Amino acid sequence: MSVDLTSAPRGTGLPVDWGLAIATGTRLVPAGPAVSPEEAAAEVARLRDGARISEHHVRALTGMGADLPVPEADVVDRPGWIHSAVDGIAALLADAPLPGPPGGIVGSTVGRVTRSAAGLQMGTLLAFLGSRVLGQYDPFGRPPSRGDQGSTPRGGADQTEERAGRLLLVAPNVVAARQALDVDGDDFALWVCLHEATHRLQFTAVDWLRGYFQGEVATFAGGFDRTASGAVDRLPEIVKSIRREPPRDGMALVEMFQGPEQRAVLDRLLALTTLLEGHAEHVMDEVGPGVVPSVSTIRARFTHRRRGGSLVDRLLRTLLGVDAKIRQYEQGRVFVDHVVARAGIDGLNAVWTSPDTLPKRAEITDPDAWLTRVHG
């Protein structure tokens, strides 16, 4: 696949050399497990079938998206996921009012150095995640077209219409995880697909969700300059706070540097993403026993794997926020389980009515407060 190392996605304003990020990520990401061409073809077919079958099960349980078409899933390798991830990031940030490089000759040089350094960092991060992500639904992903595969991503409003979202399943990672867990191939593929199909349905059945999410991210990103200057002014206070009570995790440290406005946006984003993950976890647990015979074994071994890993791996996961993501799964699932137990699936589906019915961050850990506010 060819990569244009000189261009960058239009319209993002993000100081990252995206071509260098892709080149770095694809160079550093390790090769997946060795399989024969026949085994690879069988895995691709298994995952595509799993994605299609899963969405029908998810729709039957949730009552969402009954009349929508079921698009084909894209089964990719690790470099393919990296390409798609960069493309999705570029599209997500297309409308974000991010700061550009300073002007002048010196500013131009500094800008190029900054973009290159950020590209290397982004590529390294993507290489780490690219060997671990089993699948994802990217609501901003652009299905690959002939002649466009592997190119540097493009951003900007002119491409909004062609971005219908993309469900990706990373075949080598699914194979590696299945081998490590020693579980049935068909069962594991279907179980993975249940989670990702739920995410796809969330964004395709709830017509306002994609735009709302993009708008919140743009607002959050647009406050970076104000946050940086404000953090400098508050630095003595932040240092005293850290000494008095060290942050519990990386997310708590990030929040210390946010101003009130940006912290409010972050609260909304965290509440939303925790809901989305918890909803997917609930669906997996509800649908799984009926269609995945070995689901209890898979769930137990996978949960243990999420918390395992070497010391270096665990440190990297903490720094990258992966451990915070695991807490999102757990908190979100508890929220959804509680609401469904009290109000049924229809009562939960009220959450998708509008942005006003989404849970607030405090309500994620107090689902009765959400039930009272929304259902009275």
**Per-residue pLDDT tens digits for 99-156:** 555 544 444 554 566 788 888 988 998 998 899 899 999 998 876 654 443 333 333 3
| Angle, CA 345 vertex, CA 164 and CA 290 arms, to 5° | 85
Choose between 275 and 257: higher pLDDT.
275
Calpha distance 41→134 (Å, rounded): 17
Q: Which pair of tokens denotes residue 192?
A: 């993975």
Q: 98 is written with which tokens?
A: 């991010």
The pLDDT score that the predictor gives to residue 42 is 95
Q: Does residue 307 lie within any of the structural domains?
A: yes
Percentage of the chain beyond pLDDT 70 is 70
CA-CA distance, 17 to 296, in Å (whole number)? 44
Task: For residue range 24-48, list pLDDT tens digits in order.
Answer: 999 999 989 999 999 999 999 999 9
Give the list of residues 6+ apart from residue 357 with CB closer than 8 angstroms, or none.
350, 351, 374
Q: What was the pLDDT predicted at 238?
A: 41
Token digits of residue 71 = 């698009």
Q: How far apart are CA 145 and CA 60, in angstroms?
A: 32
Judge whether residue 260 has pLDDT over 70.
no
Average pLDDT over residues 4-11: 38
Note the pLDDT tens digit of each residue in 264-295. Answer: 888 898 899 899 999 999 999 999 999 999 99
- Report the mean per-residue pLDDT for the chain: 79
pLDDT of residue 2: 31
- Radius of gyration, alpha carbons of the chain: 21
Pairing mode of beta strands 135-138, 166-170? antiparallel
In a domain, 153, yes or no: yes
Per-residue pLDDT tens for 319-371? 555 556 667 778 999 999 999 999 999 999 999 999 999 999 999 999 999 99
- Is 107 a member of any domain? yes
How sure is the predictor about 54, in pLDDT bands with cuts at 50, 70 and 90? very high
- Considering the domain boundaries, does residue 236 fall inside one? no
pLDDT at 64 over 60: yes
Residue 250 lies inside a defined structural domain of this protein = no
Of 318, 290, 304, residue with least CA distance to 190: 290
- 228 is a domain residue: no
The string of pLDDT tens digits covering residues 195-208 is 999 999 999 999 99
Q: How confident is the model at residue 14 (pLDDT cuts 50, 70, 90)?
A: low
Q: At what angle do helices 260-291 and 295-307 cross, to 10 degrees?
A: 150
Task: Note the pLDDT of residue 89.
Answer: 84
Q: How many residues does the chain have?
A: 376
Select the more confidently predicted residue: 147 or 214: 214
pLDDT at res. 52: 95
Structural domain of 341? 18-222+259-375
Contact predicate 173/141, CB 8 Å: no
Residue 221: its pLDDT value, please? Answer: 74
With helix as H, strand as E and coil as C, how does the chain read?
Answer: CCCCCCCCCCCCCCCCCHHHHHHHHHHHCCCCCCCCHHHHHHHHHHHHHHHHHHHHHHHHHHCCCCCCCCCCCEEECHHHHHHHHHHHHHHHCCCCCCCCCCCHHHHHHHHHHHHHHHHHHHHHHHHHHHCCCCEEEECCCCCCCCCCCCCCCCCCHHHCCCCCCEEEEEHHHHHHHHHHHCCCHHHHHHHHHHHHHHHHHHHHHCCCHHHHHHHHHHHHHHCHHHHHHHHHHCHHHHHHHHHHCCCCCHHHHHHHCCCHHHHHHHHHHHHHHHHHHHHHHHHHHHHHHHHCCCHHHHHHHHHHHHHCCCHHHHHHHHHCCHHHHHHHHHHHHHHHHHHHHHHHHHHHHHHHCCHHHCCCHHHHCCHHHHHHHHHC
pLDDT value, residue 220: 79
Q: How many CB atoms lie within 10 A of CB 238?
A: 15
User: Does residue 5 lie within any of the structural domains?
Assistant: no
pLDDT tier for residue 259 given thresholds of 50, 70 and 90: low
The total domain count for the chain is: 1
Look at the pTM and tell me if it is higher than 0.75: yes
Q: Measured between alpha carbons, how far is 272 from 274 in angstroms, rounded to an integer? A: 5
pLDDT (average), residues 214-224: 78
Indicate the range of 199-208, 231-240, 302-311 predicted with least confidence: 231-240
303 has pLDDT over 60: yes
22 in any annotated domain: yes
Return the axis-axis angle of helices 209-222 and 185-205, rounded to nearest 10°. Answer: 80
